[in-house]
């Protein structure tokens, strides 16, 4: 037997042993493995906050978080929102929602409700987690929560001239004077600014002496329902002592609840006049812009180790099945030529 024949036989033995190892020892021969799918990129695109149900003591803030997703697939994603009181710094309430798996390039909306005390302002913080790790966060500030009107106190009826147009919300005329008293015909204007007919309403008008704040007279009148876009002019008669100045206060009631107020003056003292008190009120609920803290893991490099590339845990690179078959065929061909 010459040297070439011995070499070909040795190669055949090695290749045959490798093929046997494939069947007996898992992972001895490297398999083709595409590796795990890279997770997609998630970020907070927008956070919108709107008022929901409002009661006398609490208000619901509806938080709509828009998540932007790019790339592969994101699983085990949760969105946590919490309301932190601006004055105390204490967490008022927290809500956490699991998100269905996301794939592809698209936006996903996650809506959560936060029930908070109807007073002051709050910082609404939004945090996005994936597999328990924080990947995005941001916050918005909400002020004027106390100005939200409870459900039971809502009405579409307003005092028509309660504004800066220079016209008084309440008018009066002297219908009778004598015996140190005057009879006033006091009227106001109520407009239904809604799309439906109003509820049954009632107006109470009070004449309050300007210097002493003593109530001189009070009367009420039922308004009934007001059609959409129409104005009602309820009026009452008040009898008050002459030669004094008065505040005329009108209070609008709906089913035992005050839903509106207005004030004007009646100057019956010719030597002195008074003006209606100017009050400062909150303009309503205000929501700041969303402040994003970015993605804390966005710039962190990701390293993926493929099990097939290492031949298993702690293994070394193995021979591919195709390479082993080609080597065996070559060895047999060489041995056939030398025989």
pLDDT means over runs of 10, the chain (339 residues): 61 61 54 61 92 92 95 93 94 95 93 94 95 93 91 88 69 89 94 91 94 93 92 94 93 92 88 62 62 54 32 43 54 54
Burial of 42 per CB tally in 10 Å (0-12, 13-18, 19+): buried
pLDDT value for 160: 80
Domain with 80 in it? 41-148+285-292
pLDDT value for 95: 96
Give which of 170, 194, 173 is closest to 182, Cα–Cα. Answer: 173
pTM score over 0.85: no
Q: Is residue 196 part of a domain?
A: yes
- What is the helix (H) or strand (E) element at residue 262, kind and residue range? strand 257-267
Give the CATH number, domain containing residue 222.
Answer: 2.60.40.10
Q: 78 and 10 in one domain?
A: no
d(CA 153, CA 132): 44
pLDDT value for 179: 85
d(CA 60, CA 181): 52
Q: Is residue 73 part of a domain?
A: yes
pLDDT value for 299: 40
Q: Is residue 14 part of a domain?
A: yes
pLDDT value for 304: 30
pLDDT value for 84: 95
Q: Is residue 262 part of a domain?
A: yes
User: What total number of domains does the chain contain?
Assistant: 3
């Amino acid at each position: 037997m010459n040297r070439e024949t011995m070499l070909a036989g040795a190669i055949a033995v090695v290749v045959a042993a490798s093929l046997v190892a494939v069947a007996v020892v898992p992972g001895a021969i490297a398999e083709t493995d595409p590796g795990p799918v890279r997770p997609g990129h998630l970020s907070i695109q927008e956070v919108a906050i709107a008022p929901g149900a409002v009661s006398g003591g609490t208000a619901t803030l509806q938080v709509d978080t828009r998540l932007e997703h790019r790339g592969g697939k994101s699983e085990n994603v949760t969105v946590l929102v919490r309301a932190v009181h601006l004055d105390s710094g204490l967490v008022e309430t927290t809500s956490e929602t699991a998100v269905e798996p996301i794939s592809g390039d698209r936006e996903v909306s996650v809506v959560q409700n936060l029930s908070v005390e109807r007073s002051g302002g709050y910082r609404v913080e939004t945090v996005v987690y994936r597999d328990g790790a924080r990947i995005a966060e941001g916050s918005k500030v909400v002020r004027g929560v106390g100005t939200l009107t409870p459900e039971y106190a809502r009405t579409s009826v307003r005092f028509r001239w309660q504004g800066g147009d220079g016209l008084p919300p309440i008018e009066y005329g002297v219908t009778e004077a004598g015996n140190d008293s005057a009879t006033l015909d006091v009227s106001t204007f109520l407009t239904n600014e809604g799309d439906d007919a109003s509820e049954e309403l009632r107006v109470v008008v009070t004449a309050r002496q300007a210097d002493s704040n003593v109530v001189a007279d009070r009367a009420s009148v039922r308004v009934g329902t007001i059609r959409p876009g129409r104005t009602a002019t309820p009026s009452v008669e008040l009898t008050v002592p002459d030669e004094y100045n008065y505040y005329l206060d009108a209070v609008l009631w709906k089913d035992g609840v005050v839903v509106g107020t207005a004030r004007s003056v009646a100057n019956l003292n010719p030597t002195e006049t008074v003006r209606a008190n100017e009050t400062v009120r909150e303009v309503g609920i205000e929501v700041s812009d969303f402040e994003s803290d970015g993605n804390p893991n966005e710039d962190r490099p990701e390293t993926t180790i493929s099990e097939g590339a290492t031949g298993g845990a702690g293994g070394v690179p193995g021979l591919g099945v195709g390479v082993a078959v080609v080597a065996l065929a070559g060895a047999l061909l060489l041995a056939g030529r030398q025989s």
